[in-house]
Amino acid sequence: MPNKNSDITLSARNLKRHFGDHLVINDVSLELRRGEVLGLLGHNGAGKTTTMQMLTGCLLPNSGEIEICGINLLRQPVKAKANLGYLPEIPPLYRELSVNEYLSFAARLRGIKAPTVADALAQTINNCGLETVGKKIIGTLSKGYQQRVGIAQAIIHSPAVIVLDEPTVGLDPAQIREVRTLIRDLGNIHSVVLSTHLLSEVESVCDRVEIMQQGKLIYSDTSEHMRQHANASGFIVVLHNPPSLATLEAINGISHVEPITSTKFRVLHNPQDNPKSTLLSMAEQQGWKLEQLTPLQATLEDVYVRITSQERKDETDLKETSR
């Protein structure tokens, strides 16, 4: 029986996967907590889909352990998968069926008894915003609605864990917003793990992020802490009568000044020594006509580049040391 008292709904330990002689997943371990949305972030080819396929039992790892609600996925796959819903990157839809027909079929496949299929269907249709398309043929629906139907088949049996592989790929901006809202809502009821190469996905829906690169997990933290990881020490300043760059860089604490336009500058300073008040005072005294001073805000893109770049540097240093 699933362990309903544990906060850990999915646990993967030391997963490895080879394709021939090529090691594509290297010692991956992660956990998913109840009521959490976890983002598996990485560039295309980082190993996200292979990891998702192993987490859902569609692909066996060469080594490692996976538990769904305390049930070993490799030893008791049927029991473990009863607590799992999965949306692959290409939704497994029967395009010639209506939405209601397909979801009823998915419910029966998931072991829902005939007398309760109608209730499960109604609840899922409502949760996924499919009320107006229940009788329509899936093949006639927009990509956004087809993606909703794909998510619906993954949650029809109310699983504890939902695994979504690139859930917004190929959607237009309006459809992306709708699907992200749906995922966020699902995270209030279920545990969700989604793979993505989009940093905006992490910002929009994820509580926590794992970064994958070349088959390894290289970073794990909340999306908020990830952003703070690379907070830049500096600001953007607009001076309508600016001095020379040398004069600005001579101000105590300023480490570098980069001109953006003739009047707009990116100013970097030492983290422990903020020269803002000195710059404001000098601008007033010297007539530099300061109009704007805005602190720099790090983006997830900045953080991602720094983390992955550092990982590559560490690997290079290790290879050089071992020679």
* CATH (domain of 269): 3.30.70
Same structural domain, 253 and 222? no
Task: Give the pLDDT confidence score for residue 320 in this predicted structure.
Answer: 59
Asked whether residue 190 falls in the same domain as residue 242, the answer is no
| Domain match, 53 and 174 both | yes
- 75 and 178 inside one domain: yes
Q: What are phi and psi of 51, to 5 degrees?
A: -65, -45
pLDDT tens profile 23-70? 999 999 999 999 999 999 988 889 999 999 999 999 999 999 999 999
Same domain, 142 and 274: no
Residue 14 has pLDDT above 90, yes or no: yes
Cα distance between residue 281 and residue 298, in whole Å: 26
CA–CA distance, 229 with 210 (Å, rounded to integer): 14
Confidence of residue 221 (pLDDT cuts 50, 70, 90): confident
The mean per-residue pLDDT over the stretch 134-150 comes to 95
200 occurs within a structural domain: yes
Question: Domain holding 134: CATH number?
Answer: 3.40.50.300
Q: Which residue has the higher pLDDT, 316 or 260?
A: 260
- Residue 128 belongs to some domain of the structure: yes
Please, are residues 226 and 219 in contact by the beta-carbon 8 Å criterion?
Answer: yes
Going edge to edge, which strands form the sheet with 161-165?
Answer: 84-87, 161-165, 191-196, 37-41, 208-213, 216-222
Whether residues 125 and 244 fall in one domain:
no
Of 182, 212, 228, the domain-final residue? 228
Residue 60 lies in a domain: yes
Whether residue 79 lies inside any domain: the answer is yes
The pLDDT of residue 314: 58
Our CA angle for 206, 236, 265, nearest 5°, is 135
Domain that holds residue 275: 234-295
User: Is 39 within 8 Å of 201 (Cβ atoms)?
Assistant: yes
In a domain, 176, yes or no: yes
Total domains present in the chain: 2
In a domain? residue 323: no
Single out the residue in 207, 228, 249 at which a domain terminates: 228
What does the pLDDT look like over 63-101, one tens digit per residue? 999 999 999 999 999 999 999 999 998 999 999 999 999
Residues 275, 189 share a domain: no
Average pLDDT on 109-126 reads 95
Residue 117 has pLDDT above 90, yes or no: yes
The model's pTM = 0.76
Mark which of 185, 202, 228 sits at the end of a domain. 228
Confidence of residue 3 (pLDDT cuts 50, 70, 90): low
pLDDT at 234: 87
- pLDDT for position 165: 94
Are 209 and 253 part of one and the same domain? Answer: no
Q: Is 195 in the same domain as 215? A: yes
Q: What is the pLDDT of residue 219?
A: 87
The answer on 41 and 164 residing in a single domain is yes
CB 72 within 8 A of CB 2: no
Give the 3-state secondary structure of residue 163.
strand
CA-CA distance, 15 to 40, in Å (whole number)? 15
Measured at the alpha carbon of residue 209, what is the angle toward residues 82 and 296, in degrees to the nearest 5? 160
- Shared domain check, 97 and 159: yes
What b-and-e string marks burial along 154-190, b requiring 16 or more CB atoms within 10 Å of the CB?
bbbbebbbbbbbbbbeebeeebbebbbebbeebbeeb
What's the pLDDT at 152? Answer: 96
Q: Are residues 107 and 173 in the same domain?
A: yes
Report CA-CA distances (Å) from 260 to 70, 263, 275. Answer: 55, 8, 19
Q: What is the pLDDT of residue 317?
A: 59
186 occurs within a structural domain: yes
Banded pLDDT at 315 (limits 50, 70, 90): low
DSSP state of 206: -
Residue 312 covered by a domain: no
